[in-house]
Amino acid sequence: MKTLKKVAALLAAVVMSSALFTGCAKQKASGTIVFGTNAEFPPFEFVSSKGIIDQYDGIDIAVAKQIGDDNNMEVKIENMEFDSLLIALKNGQIDAVIAGMTATDERRESVDFSTTYYVAKQVMIVKEGSDIKKATDMADKKIVVIQGYTGETCVKEMGYKYEAFKKGTEAIMELVNGKCDVVVIDSATAQKYIGDNKGLVIVEDDTAFESEEYAVAVAKGNTEMLNKVNATIEKMLKDGTINELSAKYAESDDAE
Ligand code: ARG
């Protein structure tokens, strides 16, 4: 009888402590990580009624969620203009930027970047039948880019005139409506846009556009956050989760 009681007491203790444990996990006792993004960049981040963190979904949001889970921390997404992200990071308004952001040398001067989790490149989106076959064909064309994206830097460095829009969808509308000839933007996002808009095609030019490495940005010297981010990203690269997410969100993104 005594042993039975002991066993029962032990069982009760185990049940209680595991209940406590789940309680803890739910409350995310170790704090919150605030990620800044610009949810205008499918398949990496977009607004959706099926969002996995609030109304946000995409490859980056899934990675952010995993970073939180791995550290028993809550994750908050701050959606802002792409141009404001690095400023918000420097101001301490956000802990990290996860936004399909290319780790460029210029940006490296002001922030630290994680391990690369995705490799992309700039491509040109044109209307079917366009005579733009390579980057230099854009010389006398109406070019549209997205403000602050690496695509803008590329076109600027080529010395071509262009117009910059705040959102990829606005740029695509210009093209669809015949108000411009070409939109320069990152490859995976371009794929989403041509899937959503009939009559648009992608033109690549590997001699003109170098590959770009996407990474998470943290404030310079914030090794604590950088280590957390890197641990999760490296795990997700190794076990194939990043590949799975890329394939899943390339298929369908439920963007609205
Ligand atoms: N890769 C490009 C860059 O770093 C575009 C990123 C746009 N990301 C976004 N979430 N809007 O400039």
Cβ atoms 113, 107 nearer than 8 A: yes
Tell me the pLDDT tens digit for each residue of 131-143: 999 999 999 999 9
- pLDDT band per the 50, 70, 90 thresholds, residue 25: very low
Is 122's C-beta closer than 6 angstroms to any atom of ligand 1?
no
Is 193's C-beta closer than 6 angstroms to any atom of ligand 1?
no
Is 232's C-beta closer than 6 angstroms to any atom of ligand 1?
no
Instruction: Note the pLDDT of residue 26.
Output: 46
CA 214 / ligand 1 centre spacing (Å): 9
Give the atom of ligand 1 at the shortest distance from the alpha carbon of 102.
4
DSSP conformation letters of 187-199: HHHHHHHHHHSTT
Other beta carbons less than 10 A from residue 199's beta carbon = 11
Strand partners of residue 41: 45
Other beta carbons less than 10 A from residue 118's beta carbon = 22
Instruction: Note the pLDDT of residue 4.
Output: 56
Asked if the domains at 31-117+215-250 and 119-211 fall in one CATH topology, the answer is yes
CA 64 / ligand 1 centre spacing (Å): 16
Distances (CA, A) of 134 to 44, 120, 124: 26, 18, 9
Average pLDDT over residues 236-251: 96
Strand partners of residue 248: none
Domain boundaries, given as residue ranges, for the chain: 31-117+215-250, 119-211
The whole-model pTM stands at 0.88
CATH class (in words) of the domain with range 119-211: alpha beta
More confident residue, 13 or 56: 56
Q: What is the pLDDT of the chain when averaged over all its residues? A: 92
Share of the chain above pLDDT 90, in %: 86
CA 101 / ligand 1 centre spacing (Å): 5
Give the pairing of strands 118-127 and 163-165: unpaired
CATH superfamily of 31-117+215-250: Periplasmic binding protein-like II (3.40.190.10)
Tell me the pLDDT tens digit for each residue of 76-107: 999 999 999 999 999 999 999 999 999 999 99
Is 41's C-beta closer than 6 angstroms to any atom of ligand 1?
yes
Q: Would you give the DSSP letter of residue 134?
A: S
